Structure 1
Amino acid sequence: MASKLSWLQSRAVEASRLAYKEGGKYVKQLVEQNKHHVQEPATAEKCLLLSKQLFYTRLASIPRRYEAFWKELDQLKQTWKNSQPNEMNAEDAKTAALFGLELLVCCWAGKVVGRGFTFTGYYV
């Protein structure tokens, strides 16, 4: 156990050295590649405007996402109703599993929001 811990520690030190040495180059390259996304002048007012635009754009997309959710649920119901259990293929099973996971995540997010964005309880 101690040898694995020392090995893990040496690997972490090696990774941090690599990140320190190459991180600056990577960030500069990333900024250069994406400088067309940068807003000039970079002021607090511009940041506030962009954050408001993002918020209201997301808010405006809720009805479309809500309709898509119910449409997806109806499709899943029809698929479930029209097929026999032994006729269900892997793709239908994956779709049902992903839909169930989506519902679980939505319920979990609702719980977190309801608690005032505190992460306590069974899901941590």
Structure 2
Amino acid sequence: MIAKAANEADDGPFKDFRLSRDNWEAIHVASWLHDCGKVTTPEFIVDKATKLETIYDRIHEIRMRVEVIKREEEIRFLRQALNIAAIPLNEESLNVALSQLDDDFEFIANLNQGGYI
């Protein structure tokens, strides 16, 4: 139905879109193959409780990202308050801690690649 609507459009982004006889055949076969894929795909992949579920529900990744954004907003707010109050920050200590975290992540990322025991 979507292909038919696009093919019949006389204006808008699909005004120049036209399917040939071979294109229609390809869409017909593809639609059947799409349904066949559902038959051969394991149920735990097809039957998802949520839209973000794969092996696990990725909503937790979204929650973590939202929490990071909230933390960033809090940090921005606190830095602004410190700046207004003219309280200096110990940037060197912060940079050492951040550098260590970057090193730790690089170590884990390297271990994540194949070839390590």
Same fold at TM > 0.5? no
TM-score between the two structures when normalised by the length of structure 2: 0.32
TM-score between the two structures when normalised by the length of structure 1: 0.31
Query: Which protein has the bigger helix share?
Result: 1
Higher relative contact order (CA 8 A, sep 6+): 1
